[in-house]
C-alpha cells in the first residue's frame, strides 16, 4: 500500500515576496511529509503582474504549487479571480500528482470553502487547522454574517477542527464555532533547537525575549517597566530582545527613556531561526509577557533549548509550563512578573536542562507529523 496523499491549502504561506509568511504551515507540511506524500496549493493575489503565473517547488519532500494571480478590486471580481486561480492550480497539481486522499485547510475562511467544494465535488474529506487570533476575546475581530455563515458550513462538514492551542479552541467555541472532533495540534519546533550547546561564560545573567513588536499583543512596554524597576535594585543581568516589527522604534525609544538602552536592554534586530536557537542556548531563561497569543512558538523553542520560561498565562503557556520548566504570571500583572523574574535570576540553575527539553518533545517534526497523520487516518475512516 502506497503512502497517503495529503493536499494542504493555506491562506498564509512563504512566497517570493515574503519567505517568513506562514512558515508554521510549511513546517506542518514538512512534518507530515515524514509519513505521507504532501503537496501544498497556495494562491497569492499579486499587484505586480498582469497574467496568472504558476510556480512549482520541491522543498524538503513537500511539493509546492504557488499560483500568483493579478490582484483586482471589487468583492465579486476578487472572489472570481480566487476561484479561477484555485481551479488552475488544482488542475496543474492533480495532472501530475493525482487526487489527494484528504485535504488539510489552514487558516479560515476561504481555504475552508475550497476544501468544502473539493469534498462536495470529489468526495475528498478535509480537516481544518486554525491559527488566527481574531476569535480571542482580547482581539474580537471575528465578524460579518457571510464570514460566520461560511465558517459554520466549513466546520460542520470538516472531519476535524485542529486549533493550535486549547486557548484558541475555547475562544472558537465561545464565538459559536463547534466541531464534534476537536484536536489541538501545535506548531513545529525546528530540530536544531533540541540540539544541546555548551554555554559560554558571561559576566551577567541573560534573559531573552523574541518578539514581532506588535505592542497590543506583546506588551513590551510592560516588560521594560519591570526590567527598569529590577535594574534599580540589581546589576547582575541583561535583557536581549530579538526581532523587528511595527512598534520597534517606539519600544526602543521607550528603553532609551527608561535609561536602560544598551546597558541593561539590548536590541539585536531580526535573526534567522538558527540564530534564535543559538541565542536561546546562550541565555539563562526566556521571558514572554504577552497580553494574548494563539500559540507562542517561542515557548516550546525555549524549552527545547533547555532553558526555563517566565510567561504570562497565554497561548500554550498554561498547558506546557510547569514547576519543572518555568513560572506563569497573569497577563498584565507587572508586580507578579517582577517577583518571578527576580526569583528566576537567583534560581534558574535549579532547573534540569534535560527535563526541560523533554517537555518540548511533543512539538518536534516527528511528533507533530505523527499526530496529524493519525488525525487524517481517523478522518478518512469516518468519511
Residue boundaries of the structural domains of the chain: 5-188+364-382, 191-361
pLDDT at 200: 87
- Residue 368 predicted with pLDDT over 90: yes
* Continuous H helices in 14-144: 23-32, 75-97, 110-122
Quote the CA–CA distance of 249 and 157 in Å, as a whole number.
45
CATH class of the structural domain 191-361: alpha beta
Residue 198 confidence class, pLDDT cut points 50, 70, 90? confident
Angle between helices 23-32 and 365-382 (to 10 degrees): 70
Q: What is the pLDDT of residues 209-233, one digit of tens each?
A: 999 999 999 999 999 999 999 999 9
Residue 162, SS3? strand
Residue 199 banded pLDDT, cuts 50, 70, 90: confident
Average pLDDT, the chain: 95
Q: In what order do the strands lie in the sheet with 160-163?
A: 53-59, 62-70, 37-46, 5-10, 102-106, 126-130, 160-163
Q: What is the topology classification, in CATH, of domain 5-188+364-382?
A: Rossmann fold (3.40.50)
Is there a contact between 242 and 279 (Cβ–Cβ < 8 Å)? yes
The answer to whether 296 and 302 are in contact (CB under 8 A) is: no
d(CA 107, CA 177): 14
Pairing of strands 37-46, 126-130: unpaired
Kind and range of the H or E element at 370? helix 365-382
Q: Is the pLDDT of residue 325 over 90?
A: yes
Give me 32's grid cell. Answer: 507530515
DSSP assignment of 229-268: HHHTT--SEEEEEE---TTHHHHHHHHHHTT-BTTTEEEE
- Give the pLDDT mean for 255-276: 95
* Contact between residue 353 and residue 196 where contact means Cβ atoms under 8 Å apart: yes
Please report the pLDDT score of residue 1 as a whole number: 53
Contact assessment for residue 204 and residue 345, using Cβ atoms and an 8 Å cutoff: no
Orientation of helix 110-122 relative to helix 145-157, angle to 10°: 40
Q: What is the mean pLDDT of residues 8-37?
A: 95
In the chain, the percentage of residues whose pLDDT exceeds 90 is 93
Beta strands in 121-260 (DSSP E): 126-130, 160-163, 205-210, 237-242
The values of phi and psi at residue 61, to 5°, are 70, 15
Q: Is 123 exposed, middle or buried (0-12, 13-18, 19+ CB in 10 A)?
A: exposed
Give me the numbers of helices (H) and strands (E) for the chain, helices first please.
14, 13
Model pLDDT, residue 196: 87
| pLDDT tens digits along 92-109 | 989 888 899 999 999 999
Q: Do domains 5-188+364-382 and 191-361 have the same CATH topology?
A: yes
Amino acid at each position: 500500500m502506497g503512502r497517503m496523499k495529503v493536499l494542504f491549502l493555506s491562506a498564509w504561506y512563504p512566497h517570493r515576496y515574503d519567505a517568513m509568511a506562514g512558515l508554521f504551515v510549511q513546517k506542518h507540511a514538512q512534518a507530515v511529509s515524514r509519513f505521507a506524500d504532501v503537496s501544498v496549493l497556495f494562491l497569492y493575489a499579486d499587484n505586480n503582474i498582469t497574467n496568472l503565473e504558476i510556480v512549482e517547488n520541491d522543498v524538503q519532500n513537500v511539493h509546492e504549487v504557488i499560483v500568483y494571480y493579478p490582484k483586482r478590486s471589487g468583492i465579486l471580481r476578487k472572489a472570481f479571480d480566487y476561484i479561477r486561480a484555485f481551479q488552475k492550480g488544482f488542475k496543474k497539481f492533480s495532472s501530475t500528482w493525482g487526487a489527494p486522499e484528504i485535504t488539510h485547510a489552514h487558516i479560515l475562511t476561504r481555504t475552508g470553502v475550497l476544501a468544502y467544494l473539493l469534498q462536495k465535488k470529489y468526495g475528498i474529506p478535509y480537516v481544518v487547522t486554525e491559527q488566527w487570533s481574531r476569535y480571542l476575546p482580547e482581539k474580537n475581530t471575528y465578524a460579518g454574517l457571510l464570514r460566520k455563515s461560511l465558517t459554520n458550513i466549513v466546520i460542520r462538514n470538516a472531519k476535524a477542527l485542529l486549533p493550535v492551542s486549547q486557548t484558541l479552541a475555547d475562544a472558537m467555541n465561545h464565538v459559536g464555532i463547534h466541531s464534534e472532533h476537536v484536536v489541538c495540534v501545535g506548531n513545529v519546533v525546528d530540530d536544531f533547537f533540541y540540539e544541546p550547546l555548551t554555554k559560554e561564560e558571561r559576566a551577567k545573567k541573560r534573559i531573552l525575549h523574541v518578539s514581532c513588536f506588535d505592542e497590543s499583543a506583546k506588551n513590551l512596554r510592560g516588560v521594560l517597566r519591570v526590567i527598569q524597576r529590577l535594574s534599580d535594585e540589581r546589576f547582575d543581568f541583561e535583557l536581549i530582545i530579538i526581532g523587528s516589527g511595527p512598534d520597534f522604534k517606539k519600544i526602543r525609544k521607550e528603553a532609551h527613556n527608561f535609561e536602560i538602552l544598551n546597558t541593561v536592554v539590548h536590541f539585536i534586530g531580526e535573526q534567522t531561526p538558527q540564530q534564535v536557537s543559538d541565542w536561546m542556548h546562550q541565555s539563562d531563561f526566556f521571558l514572554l509577557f504577552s497580553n494574548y497569543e494563539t500559540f507562542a512558538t517561542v515557548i516550546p523553542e525555549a524549552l527545547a533549548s533547555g532553558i526555563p520560561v517566565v510567561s504570562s498565562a497565554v497561548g500554550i503557556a498554561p498547558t506546557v509550563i510547569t514547576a519543572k520548566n518555568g513560572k506563569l504570571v497573569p497577563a498584565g500583572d507587572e508586580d507578579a512578573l517582577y517577583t518571578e523574574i527576580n526569583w528566576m535570576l537567583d534560581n534558574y540553575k535549579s532547573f534540569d536542562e534535560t527535563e526541560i527539553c523533554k517537555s518540548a518533545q511533543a512539538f518536534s517534526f516527528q511528533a507533530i507529523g505523527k499526530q496529524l497523520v493519525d488525525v487524517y487516518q481517523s478522518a478518512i475512516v469516518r468519511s
